[in-house]
Amino acid sequence: MSFRRPRVVRALAAVLALPVLAALAAGCSSSGAGTTADGKTILRYQGQAGTVTPYELAADLGYFSKIDLKWVGDTTSGPANIQAATTKQIEFGSAFNGAVVKLIAGGAPVTSVLSSYGADGQSFTGYYVRDDSGIKTAKDLIGKKVGVNTLGAHHEFITRQWLHDQGLTDDEIKQVQLVVLPPVNTEDALRKGQIDVAALGGPLQDIALAHGAIHPLYTDKGLFGEFDYGTYVFRNDYIADHQDAVADFVQGTARATRWLQITPHDQAVARLADIIHKRGRNENTKLLDSYKSSGIPVPGAVIQERELQIWIDWLVRNGELPAGKLAAKDLYTNKFNPYANGKYPAESGPTGEVVAAK
């Protein structure tokens, strides 16, 4: 598979076509899934198998008072998740900030309200090669294959940024092939020589490292340090019509994220495992054996302007976005986040005690 710019553009067509899809859905009400018998607003969402999201944790911790969550299935693709939110199949979605920027640049009326994932001191994505591959530099990847979970998202942006930083020309970068693979198959494809680099994160990274004979060529944390990489987005019409519900989602999810950031590891894992067992989706809790942290370095998942601006600049530099068309400050809001002022009056610790915000 040749990594040519036209192919990338076609691969991103689903993201860029979202405004059209949104327009087709414009006749639908923005009221979403309705309300519960006791008057709470129902927010439909797509989850992740074997994983507990911060908002699911927030619901279990009792941090929501005005909303009720309704799971409608799982997703492994950020662009697909925010497409579902834009076309009103669900109320909110999460994706890599570069994909969010492209979505908004294409005319989709959404706003980021809270960071959803990132790289902290313990959790990050690495791009691994076999020890016997002979691959040591970016130039060694010319004509080689990099296994990623989807195009137009985190793995592609990080890879292309690293190649650029290492001095490869645009023509050389186009010769590095991106191969889309299910995350669970990526390690096996690397070991069988079907790909030359494997993007691995979370439990799958730990499992692969335990098998040995691989090492990281580059990492997202090595590129940008501890950084929030993705955000939750809501449609602008939904925010306008259901501001109390969005505010409740943000404050509760922010507090749950902070709970993960300050709670001892074993207690956090026990709570997450309990949630998976209780929700009855026939899931395996094995992935929790490799849980390290929330992956979000910023207290309460507050969005920082640079976390979006960096991808605006990236797209401008690559000729995929006109200079001056977007400014990061216009793409997000922290007004619903109780941690936006840098502190929070009280937080519940792992055993219920009140602790000071940090």
Q: Distance from first CA to last CA of the chain, Å, rounded? A: 48
Domains of the chain: which residue ranges? 41-118+227-330, 125-224
C-alpha angle 184/185/188, rounded to 5°? 125
pTM above 0.85, yes or no: no
Same fold, 41-118+227-330 and 125-224: yes
Superfamily of domain 41-118+227-330: Periplasmic binding protein-like II (3.40.190.10)
What is the 3-state composition of the chain as percent helix, strand, coil, each rounded to the nearest 5?
45, 20, 40
CATH topology for 125-224 is D-Maltodextrin-Binding Protein; domain 2 (3.40.190)
> Which DSSP symbol is given to 35?
B
Burial 4-16 (b: 16+ CB within 10 A, else e): eeeebeebbebbb
Instruction: Going residue by residue through the chain, which has 358 residues, state the pLDDT in tens, using 9 for 90 and above.
Output: 333 333 333 333 444 444 444 443 444 445 577 999 999 999 999 998 889 999 999 999 999 999 999 999 998 788 889 999 999 999 999 999 999 999 999 999 999 999 999 999 889 999 999 999 999 999 999 999 999 988 878 899 899 999 999 999 999 999 999 999 999 899 999 999 999 999 999 889 999 999 999 999 999 999 988 989 999 999 999 999 999 999 999 999 999 999 999 999 999 999 999 999 999 998 988 888 888 899 999 999 999 999 999 999 989 988 889 999 999 999 999 999 999 988 665 555 444 443 443 3
